[in-house]
Amino acid sequence: MAARTELQRKFCMVDCLEIIQNPDRHNIKLFLQCVKCSMPLDDIFYFLIVLLREKKELSDRFLIFCPTIRTCSKLFTMFRINFKNNMKLIDYIEMYHSKTPDDVKEYVRDDMSKVNGKIRVLIATSAAGMGVNFKGVANTINFGCPRDMDSFVQQYGRAGRDGGNAMSILIFTKRDIRSVDDDMKLYVQNESHCRRETILSAYKCKPLTDRNVHMCCDICAKKCQVKDCEECCVSQHPFYNTKLPAYDSTSSDDDDDDVYSDAEWD
Ligand SMILES: [Zn+2]
Ligand SMILES: [Zn+2]
């Protein structure tokens, strides 16, 4: 792992014994979704707009990690615009990054330390990954690819801390892949191997428990052969359950690597 090698180099540690705790979080189901750079934010987060409108304070709690403060702000603005006819909904959403005013930070930390706090969606940079204990997070979304596997594991591991079933989705564009380390590259380019095993193999670890295909990852879930399986249905990520107004998700095969429109996230 790049981060650990770097630490060892900095502290001049030679032949040190590495003790790595198995990072497997078996209660978190892993999803991966590649989207086009041109796909509008409203479409990517349509499921969450619908969810908040329908369930309001009863919505699951989502933690969205963005690569930059700019992306955080864009996302927040997008929700504001969509909720302009019902501004009460915007109270369920907050931002948390290094430029967030201290009083807001304190409010966020306090609210997020309660399982049933008001905030239902927290849009954050990696600043929220460290040293803060967030409760009741049922879902993490990585919006953009984390630079390295350590960051990714740390961020999605914020979900399901109470032991209940949780979900993690990594939403990325092909352009993201250029600036990530080899482990992350392998992870997002993999289309056929269990996502959990792919993460753990970067730490030379294996899954801790026998896995139910429905709860492991989107690739394992495809192995279910049961027709109209109810478990498949309930364990699907809401991203896929909400029909977009005008987006055909099957048309994402063509290579748009070098075509960027104004809708670029950053
Ligand atoms: Zn799996
Ligand atoms: Zn099934």
The Cα-based distances of 69 to 78, 154, 227 in angstroms read 14, 19, 44
Is a pLDDT exceeding 80 seen at residue 264? no
Lowest mean pLDDT: which of 208-217, 233-242, 255-264? 255-264
- Alpha carbon of 224 to ligand 1 centroid (Å): 12
- Which ligand does the CA of 213 lie closest to? 1
DSSP letters for 48-81: HHHHHHHHGGGSPEEEEE-SSHHHHHHHHHHHHH
Is a pLDDT exceeding 90 seen at residue 30? yes
Angle, alpha carbons 17-21-23 (nearest 5°): 140
User: Please, what are the domains in the chain?
Assistant: 2-240 (3.40.50.300)
pLDDT at 4: 67
Q: How many residues does the chain have?
A: 266
Q: Measuring CA to CA, which residue among 92, 19, 87, 16 is closest to residue 58?
A: 92
- One-letter amino acid of 212: N
Instruction: Assign residue 15 a region (left: φ > 0; alpha: ψ between -120 and 50; beta: otherwise).
Output: left
- Which ligand does the CA of 236 lie closest to? 2
Is a pLDDT exceeding 60 seen at residue 257? no
Is a pLDDT exceeding 80 seen at residue 17? no
- Strand, coil or helix: what is 32? strand
pLDDT at 210: 81
pLDDT band at 131 (very low <50, low <70, confident <90, very high): low
- Which ligand does the CA of 199 lie closest to? 1
Lowest mean pLDDT: which of 121-125, 129-133, 226-230, 231-235? 129-133
Is a pLDDT exceeding 60 seen at residue 260? no
Averaged pLDDT, 172-183: 93
DSSP letters for 177-215: GGGS-HHHHHHHH-SSS-HHHHHHHTTT---SS---HHH
- Alpha carbon of 243 to ligand 2 centroid (Å): 21
- Alpha carbon of 173 to ligand 1 centroid (Å): 22
